[in-house]
Amino acid sequence: MSGHAALVMRDVPRQWTASTPEEFDALSTAHALKHCHVGLFDVDGGFREKRVPLAVARDYVHHGWSFIDALPYWNAAEGCTQDLPFAGEPCGLDPTSVRPYPFETSSALVVADYTGPSRRLSARVKLGEQVARAASLGFAVSASTELEFIVLDETAETLRKKAFSELITHAQHNRCWSGYMLATDAELLAEYEAVLAAGDVPLHHFCAELGPGCLEIALPQRSVMHAADDAALGRLFTKAFFQRRGLTASFMAKLSDDHPGLGGHPILSLFDLTSGAASFFDATRPHGLSQALHGFVAGVLAVLPEVTALFAHTTNAYRRYAPGNWAPRTATWGIENYTCGVRVVPGRAEDVRVEFRLPGADMNPHASFAVLLAAGLDGIERRLEPPPPCTTIGRDVGNEPGRRLPRGLLEAAETFATSAFARRHFGDSFVSHFAETRIREAEEIRRHVSSFERARYLHTV
């Protein structure tokens, strides 16, 4: 869900900025850093890192690093989708990604990307390519994310002892948008907000969401690469914060039959690279929505069925699309319509934005922003026009042939593998590799039988 229309598209300054290795050196001296957490994002958007002394981090920033090339094949079960002769591969640290590390004083976090063959398999690299493409068309990209999550009165140990069943949800008294949980857990939530801010993820706001233990955070408005990093690292910081306090934060798209579906909504707008003018706003057009915005939306809608695997990359993501959830599940758009896959928010020039409501909270932020931007720019370049905005319940329309979204990860992955659009914008290597990892993930889940299935079929077939 979501219930705020006033998230303004203005970039929030970052605590630390560095563009070159020399600026990184100066920053680390100014803040008396002693250690750095350096790492790469995996296929699921998780941060895989090493903690190194500052001198080592400086050397990496200037001269490069090496990390095993197994990471593009790593899966959620801590295994690999393929067995290959893995070896060390060159990486480069991105000095522009540096930020304070919130769980340790005198420490920073820096993101790296492969610079060897695995570079072509990185969603973060693909997002960077789309940012460069936007710049070549004269656009700067501003973005943000909303993330929903469930807080459980569980630890990693208690969850494993009872085989992840009979979950105890924190704040049973919580209700959607209620002030009750925010009042009763005020001290805990103030500490949580402070930890995010210490990691340079200041919140626009947070609120109680749909049911016990459910919260939503709206992350800061920044350039799209920083926004994607904020989302991935904000999720990491959230999970670490609550685990350190004897609780567990879940970003699964659908935690259980008793919990609501959880959204992770990328929000994006374009601005003129030279003048800074809002490219999605035109006062002379209905609702103030420009031709560029119409083209952007049309481009996204045109390819949603074939790129679903990129923004819904887990089997669990498709549980959220089942009837009974608030989540949109169709290739539709509407003006301020929360039930559509794409929600357009009108307003002042700087406020106009596109909210992508199909991804769940488990999305890979870099992949989701990359496909949203690639599709939108394609629509602008081709001067596409979207269908009329949906004014009814968007979940109930848009499933005619050619527009229906895949109903499971296996179908989504196989469709993605054949997408000419994806191969044109992300390259054959990335598409083939990503599709294969998703097919392997779907097949792994299909091997296991749940207690629900046994209860349903054991006595009846």
**Strands, DSSP E only, in 239-329?**
248-250, 264-272
Query: Percent of the chain scored above 70 by pLDDT?
Result: 97
DSSP state, residue 31: T
pLDDT the model gives residue 213: 94
* Calpha distance 177→186 (Å, rounded): 15
Tokens standing for 52?
A: 């190194």
Tokens standing for 420?
A: 């000419």
DSSP 246-293: T-EEE--SB--TTS-B-BEEEEEEEEETTT--BTTB-TTSGGGB-HHH
* Contact status, residue 390 vs residue 337, Cβ threshold 8 Å: yes
Statement: residue 5 has pLDDT above 50: no
Statement: residue 402 has pLDDT above 80: no
pLDDT the model gives residue 257: 92
* Calpha distance 44→226 (Å, rounded): 18
- Write out pLDDT tens, residues 16-66: 999 999 999 999 999 999 999 999 999 999 999 999 999 999 999 999 999
* Calpha distance 149→231 (Å, rounded): 13
- Write out pLDDT tens, residues 248-300: 999 999 999 999 999 999 999 999 999 999 999 999 999 999 999 999 999 99
What confidence category does residue 100 fall into, taking pLDDT thresholds of 50, 70 and 90? very high
pLDDT the model gives residue 254: 96
Statement: residue 400 has pLDDT above 70: no
State the average pLDDT over residues 370-379: 98
Domains and CATH numbers, the chain: 21-120 (3.10.20.70), 128-457 (3.30.590.10)
* Calpha distance 215→208 (Å, rounded): 5
* Calpha distance 136→244 (Å, rounded): 45
Residue with tokens 């393929």: 82
Average pLDDT score, the chain: 94
Tokens standing for 136?
A: 């070549």
Determine phi and psi for 112, rounding to 5 degrees.
-120, 160
